[in-house]
Structure 1
Amino acid sequence: MSMVSNICRLVFKSFKTFKMSERTAIERIKANTEVAKKTIDELKNELSNIHKAYTSMLTQQLKEENAQLLAAVEEAKKSLVNLENQNGVPQIPVPNQTVSVVAAKKPDTTSQEKSTAVPESEIKETKPKKEKKEKKPKEQKEPVADLPVDVGRLDLRIGKVEDVQRHPDADSLYVLKINCGEDKPRTVCSGLVKHVPIDELKDRTVVLLCNLKPVKMRGITSEAMVMCASSEAGVEVLSPPENSTSGDLVHCEGYTRQPDAVMNPKKKIFETVAPDLHTNDKLQACYKNTPFTVQGKGFCIAKTLKNVPVK
C-alpha cells in the first residue's frame, strides 16, 4: 500500500507541475501579444507622423517652386514690355486689371523708360464709329393667286415596276421599285398583297401619284402611290395605254396640269380631289367624268371594275 501511495503522490505532483507550467506558458503568450500590439500601434503612429511630415515638406517645396516660376514669369513679362516700348509697340490694357501704360517712343538706347501703373478705368479707348447703312426699302412681293384644288394639282405619271419584294415587317405590303422617268427608281410601299399576285406586278406599267409627301411604312419610306380602281369586289391596278413609257404625264382635259412639288398635308389637296376620282362605264379612270389620258396615246383604264372609286 505504501508503494501505491508513493506512486499516486508522484503522479499527482507531476500533473500539478505540468498544469503550472502550462498556465505559465499561456500567460507568457498573452504578455507577448500585448507587447506586439503596443509595438504595432507605435509603428502606425510613427508612420502617420512620417507621412504628415513628408506631405508638409513636399507642399512647402511645391509652393516655393511655384513662387519662383511666378517671379520668373513676371520678370519675363517686364522684359517683354520694355522691349516692346523701346520698339514703339503700344501697350493695350487688359480688362479688369491694372496695366502698365507707357507712351510709345522711338527706340532710345541711352535711357530706359519707366512704366506707370494706371487703372483701366482711367484709360479711354477710341473706336471708329460705324457708319449707319441706309435701310433699303423692302420689296413688296405680289400675292400669289391660290391655285384651284382639282386634279391638275396631282402629279400623275406613268411608271414601270422594275422590282417587287414582300415587305420584311408587314405581311400586307409590297415594296416596289418603280421607274417614272427620273434619275433613279422610286420606292413605293403598296398594300396589294391580298389583291394582286406578285408575278402580275413584275415589269408592269402603272399610273403613279408622285407628289404625296414621303412617309415611312414600317421602317421603309414610300415615295409615291400606285393608283387603283377599288371596290368591295376587289382592287385592280390601273393600266396606262399600251404604248406608254416611263415618265409620261397623265392629263385631264379641261384641267390645267400644275402640280405642287409636294402636296402640303395640311391643305388636304388629295383628300379634296379623291372623292371625284372614279372609273366610268367604259372602265376609264376619270376625274368628274373626264378621263385620264396620256396625250396622243390613249386612256388609263381598269380591267373589269366600272363606276368604282379610284385611289
Structure 2
Amino acid sequence: MKVEKTVEAPDQEDVEMDGKHLSLRVGRIISAEKHPDARSLVVVQVDVGEASPTTVVSGLLKLFPLDQVLNRMVILLCNLRPAKVRGVLSQAMVMCATSPDKVEILDPPGGAEPGDRVTFLGFLAEPEKELFDKKKEQVLCDLCTDGHCVATYRGAAFIVAGKGVCRAQTLSHCAVK
C-alpha cells in the first residue's frame, strides 16, 4: 500500500523575509501639515507615481520645518499594512537614517522620479503585497548606512536603476528605519 505525502505550502508567517520583500519607492512630498489630534505628528501626502497620493503619518518629520519637507524627494516603504494613527490612515513609512542624536531623511539619487523602485543588488523579486509587523521587523533590523552614508540592506546598496544609490546626508554606520 502506497501512502501519498501531502506537502503544505508554508504559512505566510513562516516565510523567511529579506530585502526583496520590501516595496521601496521614490516619492515627492506634495503637502505637509500638523496632525489635527497630535502635536508630535505630521501628516504628509506623497506622490509615488500613482493615481492618488500616499498618506503618511510620521513623528520623524516633526524634526524638520514643514516648509523644508514640502517638495522634498524621499524613499517610502510602501507595502506596510495601513494603520490608523490617531484617526488618520497611514499607508507608508518615510525611510530615515537614525543615530541617538540625529535623524536624516534618506535622499534618492539625482534624477530619480516619484514611483521609481528602490532595490538591492542580489535581492531582486516582486515585493510582498503587504508586510505584517513581524515580517517588517525581520527586514528592518538589517538596514543601515555604510561608511559612505549609502543606505544598505545586508551590505547591498539601495539602488534606483540607472540613477544611482540612496544615501543619508552625514550619518554613516547608522540604522535605517
Q: TM-score, normalised by structure 1?
A: 0.52
1:286 corresponds to which residue? 152
The alignment-based identity, stated in percent, is 42
Higher mean C-alpha deviation, range 278-287 or range 193-202 = 193-202
- Residue 146 (structure 2) pairs with residue 307 (structure 1): no
Opposite residue 173 of structure 2, the aligned amino acid is N
Give the Å deviation of 1:258: 2.3
Structure number with greater CO (CA < 8 Å, separation at least 6) is 2
Structure 2: tracts of 5 or more residues without a match: 1-5
Give the Å deviation of 1:171: 1.0
Structure 1: tracts of 5 or more residues without a match: 1-140
Inter-partner Cα distance in structure 2 for 1:256 and 1:148: 15
2:131 corresponds to which residue? 263
- Residue 58 (structure 2) pairs with residue 217 (structure 1): no
Opposite residue 277 of structure 1, the aligned amino acid is L
Going by fraction, where is helix more abundant, 1 or 2?
Answer: 1
1:56 corresponds to which residue? none
* Superposition map of 1:87-106 within 5 A: none
Opposite residue 209 of structure 1, the aligned amino acid is L
Equivalent of 1:242, from 110, 116, 124? Answer: 110
After superposing on structure 2, the runs of 4+ consecutive aligned residues of structure 1 that deviate more than 6 Å are none
- Residue 119 (structure 2) pairs with residue 272 (structure 1): no
Q: For 1:121-146, what per-residue CA distance to the aligned partner results, in whole angstroms no more than 9, with x for missing partners?
A: xxxxxxxxxxxxxxxxxxxx985567
Give the Å deviation of 1:260: 1.1
Inter-partner Cα distance in structure 1 for 2:61 and 2:122: 36
1:95 corresponds to which residue? none
Inter-partner Cα distance in structure 1 for 2:162 and 2:89: 34
Q: For 1:80-122, what per-residue CA distance to the aligned partner results, in whole angstroms no more than 9, with x for missing partners?
A: xxxxxxxxxxxxxxxxxxxxxxxxxxxxxxxxxxxxxxxxxxx
Inter-partner Cα distance in structure 2 for 1:221 and 1:284: 30
Going by fraction, where is strand more abundant, 1 or 2?
Answer: 2
Inter-partner Cα distance in structure 2 for 1:161 and 1:305: 22
2:162 corresponds to which residue? 296
Opposite residue 310 of structure 1, the aligned amino acid is V
Equivalent of 2:41, from 162, 170, 173? Answer: 173
1:132 corresponds to which residue? none
Inter-partner Cα distance in structure 2 for 1:257 and 1:236: 28
Inter-partner Cα distance in structure 2 for 1:262 and 1:298: 26
